[in-house]
């Protein structure tokens, strides 16, 4: 039996006026999802919990079959695993975004303009992170470059129990109410203020401003946690060969921690301009060469949701359908082996609110051994379905036990 999951990050949405009252999924041209839905089943599930962060970390743990209440230790240590950063058990790890804040003074009166600094390139960001490490880093406070605007800060051999806010949750708002609070707050605020001075004057940002791009002029810490310990995916599921295909450190970290292969895909960016065809090719290669499990993650819809761009989100869904879902489905059909294919978001990222929300998400499941009466794959259809998974982390196990179709 082959198992394939195509994870369309943040794809679920709400009706958008600019799309004629449709969601991006409803408005998108998705002939491949349509032909799969015609023989499969649509349902809805909960991947997030009120007492845990509303994020892709918790949601993807759920979809991979891991109970977040047991395995979740924070977002940043997962990303650190994906980047190969050495961690001690008593280190505290933080996600460090390079963001764009306004020029207002004093510092607390600045506005969060962009959580991604106009999707700064990895090459530019590496220079900025190096400048921060040289100026304010130490053996205790360690800076590590990641991908684009997503980086890591490690507080060595120390705990943290303060309050931090994801920058994508406060776009367009004054940062005063969302600055670090509690333990080490004064130390972190000082570091942020220093970063603003360092980064604003850096040649990389001066060149970006000259090109009409937003500067990555401040560091922003959030998502702290400790090094996780996952049960190996092969032991948990009995599937001995698995491949994760992604371009973002979070999913690479989950793969590394669970023992899933996670090859680098040339041209995969973690954004709308990613190499969709390359991701499909990697999945098909795995399926044709003895892998029992593939997980293809596409970040693009989530980024479009955070940007508030309904049209681009619709187009990203179309790219996924045409360049990934269609080829992977055709490959599964051609193998002549039984398979199950799951197409799902991890959570909703509505363009109207530009952040993650915790409503139930739609999913589409196809089992080659079963032909159902068929369905339509939309948020509205999922709400009408009687297939409801209250705890998303049980879905994969129930698939493997043939309990859903």
**Per-residue model confidence as pLDDT tens digits over 272-309:** 999 999 999 999 999 999 999 999 999 999 999 999 99
User: In this structure, is residue 212 part of a structural domain?
Assistant: yes
Within a domain: 164: yes
Domain interval for residue 203: 83-225
Domain shared by 60 and 30, yes or no: yes
149-165 pLDDT, tens per residue?
A: 999 999 999 999 999 99
The predicted pLDDT at position 198 comes to: 98
- Whether residue 122 is found in the same domain as residue 202: yes
Boundary-marking domain end, from 225, 242, 268: 225
Query: For residue 68, what pLDDT is reported?
Result: 98
- 172 and 139 inside one domain: yes
- Same domain flag for 168 and 254: no
| Residue 351 falls inside a structural domain | yes
77 within a domain of the structure (yes/no): no
Q: What pairing do the DSSP bridges indicate for beta strands 92-101 and 150-155?
A: antiparallel
What pLDDT shows up at residue 405? 78
Q: Does 174 share its domain with 246? A: no
Average pLDDT, stretch 349-363? 97
- Structurally, the chain folds into a number of domains equal to 2
Q: Same domain for 98 and 151? A: yes
Residue 78: inside a domain, yes or no? no
Q: Does residue 360 belong to any structural domain of this protein? A: yes
Q: Which of 201-205, 209-213, 368-372 has the lowest mean pLDDT?
A: 368-372
Same domain, 242 and 389: yes
CA distance 112 to 374: 45
How many whole angstroms from its chain centre is CA 240? 25
Can you tell me the mean pLDDT for 67-89? 95
Per-residue confidence (pLDDT) for residue 372, from 0 to 100: 87
What CATH number does residue 378 fall under? Answer: 3.40.720.10
* pLDDT score of 373 more than 90: no
- Of 202, 225, 248, which residue sits at a domain end? 225
Say how far residue 381 (Cα) sits from the centre of its chain: 24
Same domain (yes/no): 246, 307: yes
- Asked if residue 201 has pLDDT above 90, the reply is yes
Phi-psi region of 212 (alpha: psi -120 to 50; beta: other; left: phi over 0): left
Within 13 Å, how many C-alpha atoms sit on residue 330's CB side? 11
* C-alpha to C-alpha distances, 242 to 188, 223, 296, 324, 343, nearest whole angstrom: 40, 28, 11, 18, 17
pTM: 0.90
Residue 260 and residue 343 in one domain: yes
Query: 239 with 272, same domain?
Result: yes
| Residue keyed to tokens 């960016």 | 269
Tell me whether residue 405 is in a domain. no
Are 372 and 315 in contact by the 8 Å Cβ rule? The answer is no
- Per-residue pLDDT tens over the stretch 225-272: 999 999 999 999 999 999 999 999 999 999 999 999 999 999 999 999
**DSSP codes of every residue in 99-157:** EEE---SSGGG-BEEETTTTT--HHHHHHHHHHHHHHH--SSEEEEEEETTEEEEEETT
User: Which one, of 283, 284, 306, 304, lies nearest residue 295 by Cα?
Assistant: 283
Q: Are residues 288 and 376 in the same domain?
A: yes
Which residue, among 186, 183, 269, 180, has the nearest Cα to 220 in the 3D structure? Answer: 180
pLDDT exceeds 90 at position 342? yes
Phi and psi at residue 41, in whole multiples of 5°? Answer: -140, 140
Instruction: State residue 263's pLDDT score.
Output: 97
In the block, tokens 């059909």 appear at 333
Judge contact between 248 and 274, C-beta under 8 A. Answer: no
Residue 340, H or E segment = strand 339-344
**End-of-domain residue from the set 192, 225, 258:** 225
Mean pLDDT for the chain?
97
Average pLDDT estimate for 382-396: 97
Is 47 domain-assigned? yes
- Identify whether residues 173 and 66 lie together within a single domain: no
Q: Is the dihedral of CA 152, 155, 156, 162 positive or negative?
A: negative
The mean per-residue pLDDT over the stretch 189-204 comes to 98
């Amino acid at each position: 039996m082959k198992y394939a999951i195509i994870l369309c990050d943040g794809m679920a949405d709400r009706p958008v006026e600019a799309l004629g009252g449709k969601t991006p999924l409803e408005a998108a041209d998705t002939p491949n999802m349509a032909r799969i839905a015609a023989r499969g089943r649509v349902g809805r599930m909960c991947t997030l919990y009120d007492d845990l962060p509303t994020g892709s970390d918790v949601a993807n743990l759920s979809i991979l079959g891991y109970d977040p209440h047991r395995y979740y230790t924070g977002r940043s240590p997962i990303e650190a695993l994906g980047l190969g950063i050495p961690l001690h058990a008593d280190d505290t790890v933080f996600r460090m975004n390079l963001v764009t804040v306004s020029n207002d003074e004093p510092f607390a009166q600045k506005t969060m303009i962009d959580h991604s600094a106009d999707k700064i390139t990895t090459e530019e960001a590496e220079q900025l992170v190096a400048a921060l490490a040289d100026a304010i880093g130490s053996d205790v406070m360690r800076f590590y470059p990641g991908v684009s605007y997503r980086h890591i800060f490690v507080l060595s051999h120390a705990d943290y129990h303060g309050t931090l806010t994801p920058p994508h949750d406060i776009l367009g708002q004054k940062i005063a109410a969302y600055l670090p609070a509690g333990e080490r707050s004064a130390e972190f605020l000082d570091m942020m203020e220093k970063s603003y001075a360092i980064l604003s004057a850096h040649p990389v940002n001066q060149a970006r401003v000259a090109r009409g791009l937003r500067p990555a002029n401040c560091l922003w810490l959030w998502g702290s946690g400790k090094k996780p310990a996952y049960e190996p995916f092969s032991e948990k599921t009995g599937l001995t060969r698995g491949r994760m295909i992604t371009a973002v450190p979070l999913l690479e970290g989950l793969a590394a921690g669970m023992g899933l292969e996670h090859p680098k895909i040339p041209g995969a960016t973690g954004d709308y301009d990613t190499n969709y065809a390359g991701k499909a090719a990697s999945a098909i290669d795995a399926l044709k060469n003895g892998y029992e499990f593939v997980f293809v993650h596409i970040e693009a819809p989530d980024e479009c949701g955070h940007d508030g761009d309904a049209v681009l989100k619709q187009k990203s869904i179309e790219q996924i359908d045409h360049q990934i879902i269609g080829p992977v489905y055709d490959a599964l059909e051609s193998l002549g082996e039984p398979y199950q294919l799951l197409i799902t978001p991890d959570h909703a990222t509505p363009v109207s609110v530009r952040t993650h929300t915790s409503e139930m998400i739609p999913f589409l499941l196809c089992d080659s051994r079963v032909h159902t009466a068929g369905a339509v794959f939309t948020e509205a259809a999922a709400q009408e379905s009687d297939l409801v998974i209250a705890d998303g982390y049980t879905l994969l196990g129930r698939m493997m036990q043939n309990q859903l179709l």
